[in-house]
Amino acid sequence: MEGVHKLLEMQGITKVFPGVRALDSVDFELLAGEVHVLLGENGAGKSTLMKVLAGAYEPEAGKIFIDGQKVNIQGPSHAQELGIGIVYQEFNLVPYLNVAENVFIEHFPRTRLGFIDHETMHRAANELLCSLGMQVDTHALITQLSTAQQQMVEVAKALKHKSRILILDEPTSSLTEREIEQLFATIRELKRKGLGIIYISHRMQELWEIGDRVTVLRDGKYIGTRSLKETTPDELVTMMVGREVSFLFKRDFQTPGEEVLRLEGVSSTVHRLKDIHLTLHRGEIVGLAGLVGSGRTELARTIFGLEPVSEGKIYLFGREIHHSSPSLMVQRGVALLPEDRKNQGLALILSVAENLVMASLERLFPRKYIQKQKEKQIVAQYIKNLRIVTPNQSRQVQFLSGGNQQKVVLGKWLCTEADIFIFDEPTRGIDVNAKAEIHEFMNELVKKGAAILMISSELPEVLGMSDRIYVMRERKIVAELTHQEASQEVVIRYATAADHANQSVGCV
């Protein structure tokens, strides 16, 4: 692109952590007015590279140029001063401070006496948010906002120093379709104003909608940069993975067996679920599709007994369940693999062995006494079958790599020899190779007679893997589709939420 201003250039950036080379001589550049996508699998180095730019990390080697001038970024505040704003995937917002306070958290406007100038602060915050097309009461506490609104507060926070470079780290992972549209509209507006936007993402479907160019990283190394108009998904995936990968999901469909789970008219006041009807049979994978916030995880939690049912009945293997609880469910052969596998699935300071048997204590040791030999054998078996990499059984799980930690969580539930598995986003945050492995695995499970209820936000996955699909919207089930009936358009049509008016305070 001739004549367009080069906002940012990063040359030969290397970042080393104890034991791992996170970035190895990576180059990156950004032009004014472009959306430059940073693509790569987990661990490829995208977030690390951006953290270097945002001043959170200091690189071991490499140079950074802004507007052609070499800069030495001293820390997050310095980066902000240089015009670099970043919105992390996990928001850095304070729940019980209001919007304006959050936006100006490290730089409060002051009165002459040194106290906080509330008027100026709220006015400035309002202006920033309005320029982003957002109408929010700046006196509202963060806890009172929706995820999308919180994200806008983060963007405002990132832009308050008249930033020229905005980094968005996986911005759409928790948004509804409509909110994504709003975000894209904001991004286009910022482009028009000449900002350069670095967009980190995993999700191929959006790239062509919003991006101009894309840079691929793999294992901390720079692989290449392409213009999105001149490349294809397959080429990008090949760059990301280093080999050819097929997109097809292998699934051996078979006739479902007996009914194992049935929900009739189930409602939950605490989760605002309404009148859920659902069945699940042996040998089938039932997909639960819907937008973020439609209630899928809440439904899973209610089935598993974490929160009570206020109306309706749940039948497990034909028997009605009163007063369900996780202990009861586990006893009866139900397993729930949560979305946040690390924090909800593992006790990090306990050993691999202790985590693996955690859900099976009653089953393996009915007389309460732990037979060490038996435990050792069983743990060894699962370590071998799942190829968990660990020097020994008593290693604390916190020292395992992310991928191996996931395997321990899976192993824990396999060890329960459950008949019903509820997977909540089984392949989220997992790289492409491992994804295929997990799908194969799920296939094997149901072939052996288990039943799987799979919550997923990735339509291709849901469509490829499920015998049947329930679509949820606003805490209700709005459709039940067979494998043949389902398609992206049909599912999205059912899943799309009705409009809600936003809270508004006048935009001046």
Partner 1 sequence: MILYRSIIRKIQPVFWVTLLLMIVFNFFSSRFLSLHNIINLFQQGAVLLIVAAASTLVILSEGLDLSLGSVLTLAGITSVMSVNNGAPVSLAIGVGILTGLLCGAITGTLISIFNMQPFIATLGIQGVYYGISLVLTDSVAILTKNKTFIFFGSRVGYLPMAALIGVGTFLLILYIFHNTPFGRYIVAIGGNESGTRLSGVNTRFWKWFLYTFAGGITGFAGVLLASRLEAADPIVGVGWEFDAIAATILGGTSFQKGKGGVAGTALGVLLITVVRNGLNVIRTPSILQPALIGTILIIAIVIQVGLSMRSTQKEGKNRP
Partner 2 sequence: MNKKSILSTMDPHTVSGVGRVFALLLICVAMGFVSPVFFTARNISLIITNASIMAILGVGLTITVITCGPDLSVGSILTITAVVAVIMVKANFHFLLSFAVALMMGTALGFLNGVLVTKVGLPSFISTYGLQWALFGFAYVILKGYVIYNFDADFRFIGNGYLIGPISMPIVVMVVVVFLGWFILRKTTIGRMFYATGANRDAARMSGIDTGKAILLAFSISGFLSALAGIVLVARINACQADIGKNLLLPSLATVYMGGTRATGGQGGVFGTLVGAVIMTVVENGMNLLGVPSVWRNAIIGTLIILTVLANIAVSKQLEKAGSKM
Which residue's CB is nearer to partner 2, number 43 or number 338? Answer: 338
Handedness of CA 34, 188, 431, 234 (dihedral sign): negative
Nearest to 472 by CA among 490, 504, 494: 494
Q: How far is the CB of 435 from partner 2 (least distance, A)?
A: 23
Does residue 325 touch partner 2 according to CB under 8 A? yes
Q: Which of 15, 157, 218, 473 binds partner 1 (CB under 8 A)?
A: 157
Q: Which of 94, 185, 347, 507 binds partner 1 (CB under 8 A)?
A: 94
Does residue 76 touch partner 1 according to CB under 8 A? yes
Does residue 91 touch partner 1 according to CB under 8 A? yes
Which one of the spans 23-31, 71-79, 233-241, 367-375 is the region binding partner 1 (CB under 8 A)?
71-79
Alpha-carbon distance of 273 to 53, in angstroms, equals 43
CB 442 within 8 A of CB 435: no
Does residue 115 touch partner 2 according to CB under 8 A? no
Alpha-carbon distance of 162 to 218, in angstroms, equals 32
Segment 95 to 134, residues that bind partner 1, using CB under 8 A: 95-97, 101, 105-108, 114-116, 118
Which one of the spans 153-161, 239-247, 340-348, 444-452 is the region binding partner 2 (CB under 8 A)?
340-348
Q: How far is the CB of 79 from partner 1 (least distance, A)?
A: 9
Q: Residue 166: which residues within 8 A CB-CB, separation 6 or more?
A: 85, 86, 87, 155, 158, 159, 190, 195, 196, 197, 198
- Six-digit token pair at 61? 């080697």
Does residue 365 touch partner 2 according to CB under 8 A? yes
Which one of the spans 186-194, 310-318, 354-362, 432-440 is the region binding partner 2 (CB under 8 A)?
354-362
Pairing state between β 84-87 and 6-17: unpaired
Q: How far is the CB of 210 from partner 2 (least distance, A)?
A: 36
Nearest to 167 by CA among 191, 139, 200, 190: 200
Strands (E) across 128-220 are located at 165-169, 196-201, 213-218
Q: Sketch the per residue contact string, 276 through 305, with partner 2: x for CB under 8 A, - otherwise.
A: ----------------------------x-
Does residue 336 touch partner 2 according to CB under 8 A? yes
Alpha-carbon distance of 224 to 44, in angstroms, equals 13
Segment 392 to 421, residues that bind partner 2, using CB under 8 A: 392, 394-396, 399-401, 412, 416
Rounded to 10°, the helix 432-447/233-241 angle is 90
Which one of the spans 67-75, 85-93, 255-263, 343-351 is the region binding partner 2 (CB under 8 A)?
343-351
Which one of the spans 131-139, 142-150, 391-399, 475-483 is the region binding partner 2 (CB under 8 A)?
391-399
Instruction: Count residues binding partner 2 (CB under 8 A).
Output: 40
Q: Residue 408: which residues within 8 A CB-CB, separation 6 or more?
A: 346, 352, 355, 356, 388, 397, 400
Which residue's CB is nearer to partner 2, number 131 or number 396? Answer: 396
Produce one character per residue of 415-454: b if its CB has 16 or more CB atoms within 10 Å, e if not.
bbebbbbbbbbbbbbbbbebbbebbeebbebbeeebbbbb
Q: Which amino acid is at 205?
A: Q
List, in sequence order, every residue forming a beta bridge with 98; answer none if it has no partner.
141
Binding site residues, partner 1, CB under 8 A: 56, 75-77, 80, 88, 90-97, 101, 105-108, 114-116, 118, 139, 142-147, 150, 157, 270
Binding site residues, partner 2, CB under 8 A: 18-19, 304, 306, 325-327, 329-331, 336, 338, 343-350, 354, 357-359, 361-362, 365, 368-370, 391-392, 394-396, 399-401, 412, 416
